A and B are shown apart, each in its own frame.
Chain A
């Protein structure tokens, strides 16, 4: 194992450009595969956990009694459906909105470490673009989805869609700010904006070091993902399907899928920033010790996903004015309080 790493390191030192290119291509391929398959599993979990919580069965026909292949069947159906573009829409914007949403998600995924490999007493983080400001970059790239939502709603030429789009943007603005402040608070304690370094610096989980920030971040995250109680932009009882009312077939599928991509990535971000990422005791079993950081991260991510799913089944939806009220009047001041706390604690222990 050491030999292989030595060869790779040597190659990287000799031909840095080619090395970066190869790593980039491999990374992009692995990334899209991992993220999209992961999101499919998240959709499956969403349906299955929800139905369990509601005393239903959920998907249980396609792929055995757990309905594991249901998503594949749904995807095939969406791909083969007629692609309807209504005549009144702003066609360019309408067509590009789902693509922008997908691109935005992949931009987020590029900077997120999906865990680390523990080789030879050292952690090698699995991240495609290990940039210095990755925490801030990820938080910003997550909000590209809101732009796509606005494009989709605005171009649809539909009253329900435009209301959904407006609601989506109003909500995004109100919650991106406290979310950003929370990321800064974490960075202040870690003395870095790099997600890998933030994880490595968490000897105590940030959830315990700054509990207020933890709560604000998870509320802002649920808002960002547009799930109950913050799903005003697609509240079907009020505005049919919100911004995606006029979409059908695979374009609708893409928009829908990106929500779950973001769900997965947001949950990973949550685990990285506040739950100690892949930190945890190394399992002293050969081979398992290599991936043991990933096992820890996976467990934390699953808990976050599970929590967000259960929130959907148990809470009422807030009204849009209550959402913005909560965002500006409570979340933002409290996140600033949390920033002050982080500065004090961070400089005391520095």
Chain B
């Protein structure tokens, strides 16, 4: 670290650590991190022999080029937003649930199961409500296992929630290769297509954007009310920041654990249900494009704040779309999106740390 004082005609200056980050820095840091990611991305494009401007345009301009592109951006932001809102509530309570991917898959499985039942008598509204509810319950059950093992056995929630992602992936694979496989599907690992009654209402005709996006925005509002206006939300955050103060105030750590995990599970499960019933319309082994993991980045980049998460989910959605476009336009692998996601999170951590240093005149 550069901690030696620098002498010049302007006096003696040194770089020192600030005691605490100020409010504007908390929000400047993600922007700086995005800039840093773009610089690294441009260098990577140049190394790969592509025009850096063209490469950056694919990620940051093309996804915004017209109304249809924007509808796709919102479509992919929906699962990211829902998962990240749940995760943020957990992270604020110092509950490290990193298995949103598994909870998402369970939501998709449960919603798919309801969608394939013969429930035409319920009508469209009834069926859709039921399958969304089933998705939420599925996600909650999966996260509930994590909470139960942490509560009863003190088992580390990071490892348990992650192990359950693998179990959920294998459960989905078993279902679509076995009991739920479409008998008329030429032996492809997929379920039959969901019935017409379960088609989600579209927000804009001619696009794939469905009501899930509005629900996700409402969920962001609800999360904001819960975090900053509800006693339960406050108790949960105190439990995360200062467990002893929470105990003194009579806030239960167990309740914080259960509440945050069940909320995360419900949000991720709902996201999975929307994804299955919305753009996919059937279950395959590839229900998730990795939204549950990317949501961790969304939560951090969005500063664990609902408004930040709304913006960050749109940003990460750009990364997903950019990866697909990089494949079709530039002939680069789709996996590039994952690289940039990782770089973004590292950049954010670096900016958060470095922004804590300041230049101060000593003499």
A binds B: no
